[in-house]
Structure 1
Amino acid sequence: MAQLAFPTQQYTSENFVESCGAILYDTTRQKICLIHLTVSDLWTLPKGRRNIGESRQEAALREVYEETGYKCHILPVDMRTRATIAGDAADASDVARISRDSVEPFMVTMRTLRDGQGVKVIWWYVAIMDKGACEMKGPGEEGVQTGLYSYEEAERLLYFETDREVLVAKMG
């Protein structure tokens, strides 16, 4: 049997977690929404596990709403991607190019689970608050507070370097 020429890891379903999250942007106030986990006193970007049968986009929007209480939608963005684009030839080159108004994830985080028992994959989107979201804010998740911050404040407050890298990759 042939072996691949590059490192490969595979995980059964019991050894991976798929999460989705978003940079939540309030275009009215030009602010970014962060969540504050009160028990651990950490500021992070909203994200959480995808449910079986749920699309990644649906999971990102649901998790953002559950954690922040803000209704939102995915913001179409221009991004460089290696994915094929509608209308591409079957043998399209595997090179990064611009996809206009994409609602696909712009970044993925791969995190090793505790004790090396697998991997957590986090798909990242950019989302914007729906019109009137601040006035109709839901309860949010217990033990989670929200705040709206300028880009600079958000970058300073984020506890995890990987969250800062997500923010900088799309907003910086």
Structure 2
Amino acid sequence: MVIFQPSTHKVVVIYDTRDKYWFFPRGRKDMGESLETTAIREAYEESGYQAEFLPLYIPTQAPAPPSERSRYDLPNTEPFYVTMSSWSPRRGNRRMGGEYLTSWWIGQIPENAVHTKNTGMPDEQTYTSHLCTYEQAMGLVFGSERDVLRYAWAVYVHTLETQERQRRAQARQSQTPADNTEPKAARRATT
């Protein structure tokens, strides 16, 4: 999950002090757990922040139910990106090679978000969370996570611009004179 703090437009980036690298929260789902639940749980375990999904104007090819076509015009909390990594079989080991698909979501924390320590698994106790600007985060993460962040930021900025256009349109609509309901003949008589 890429976690934004909308009040500051910062992003949560995690640093592993043992292995010396920066990353975004991610992990495997538990048996019987939904992908959405996994994303929220992993975000909390690895970052220490209780994130929630951030509704955004995310382009999607997922079909809406026929009776709900207007969903295309609304923000959603669908995964916004998928990455894949693969590994080769190990010699002398029964473990086969494979592929690891990661579905990425965008989350949010409030301005007054409380950071909780020691939320991760025993091997995650060396993780520290940092609120960074987009530019700082781009300089810290590497590989496919840079692509993930670049696209997450583009979707986030697009959503902010869309919301601002909507706010301006609503403001213009509320500024139209309320006197337009007066009959034309009555308006002419008073002029």
TM-score of the superposed pair, with normalisation by structure 1: 0.75
Conserved? CA contact 2:5–2:111, under 8 Å: no
1:108-159 Cα offsets, whole Å, 9 max, x none, are 111112437111010000000146323x53434301111110000000111x
Larger radius of gyration: 2
CA drift at 1:37: 1.2
For residue 72 of structure 1, what is the aligned residue in structure 2?
Answer: 51
Q: Take 1:109 and 1:55, find their aligned partners in 2: how far apart are those partners? A: 18
Report whether the alignment pairs 1:36 with 2:15: yes
Q: Take 1:130 and 1:149, find their aligned partners in 2: how far apart are those partners? A: 15
CA drift at 1:99: 5.9
Q: Take 1:58 and 1:36, find their aligned partners in 2: how far apart are those partners? A: 23
Identify which of 95, 103, 107 aligns with 1:123. Answer: 103
For residue 169 of structure 1, what is the aligned residue in structure 2?
Answer: 151
1:5-37 Cα offsets, whole Å, 9 max, x none, are xxxxxxxxxxxxxxxxx1111123321000101
Where structure 2 has 5 or more consecutive residues not aligned to the other structure, the ranges are 90-95, 155-191
Percent identity of equivalent pairs = 28
Conserved? CA contact 1:79–1:99, under 8 Å: no
Conserved? CA contact 2:6–2:110, under 8 Å: no
| Number of residue pairs the alignment of both structures matches | 143
CA drift at 1:83: 1.2
1:126-145 to structure 2, matched below 5 A, reads 126-130=106-110, 132-134=112-114, 136-141=115-120, 142-145=125-128
CA drift at 1:103: 1.1
For residue 77 of structure 2, what is the aligned residue in structure 1?
Answer: 103
Root-mean-square deviation (CA, aligned residues, Å) is 2.3
1:47-88 Cα offsets, whole Å, 9 max, x none, are 111111111111011001000110010011112222111226
Higher strand share goes to which structure?
1
TM-score of the superposed pair, with normalisation by structure 2: 0.68
Where structure 1 has 5 or more consecutive residues not aligned to the other structure, the ranges are 1-21, 90-97
Q: Which one-letter code corresponds to 2:105 in the other structure?
A: Y
Identify which of 129, 137, 159 aligns with 1:146. Answer: 129
1:15-54 to structure 2, matched below 5 A, reads 22-54=1-33
Higher helix share goes to which structure?
2
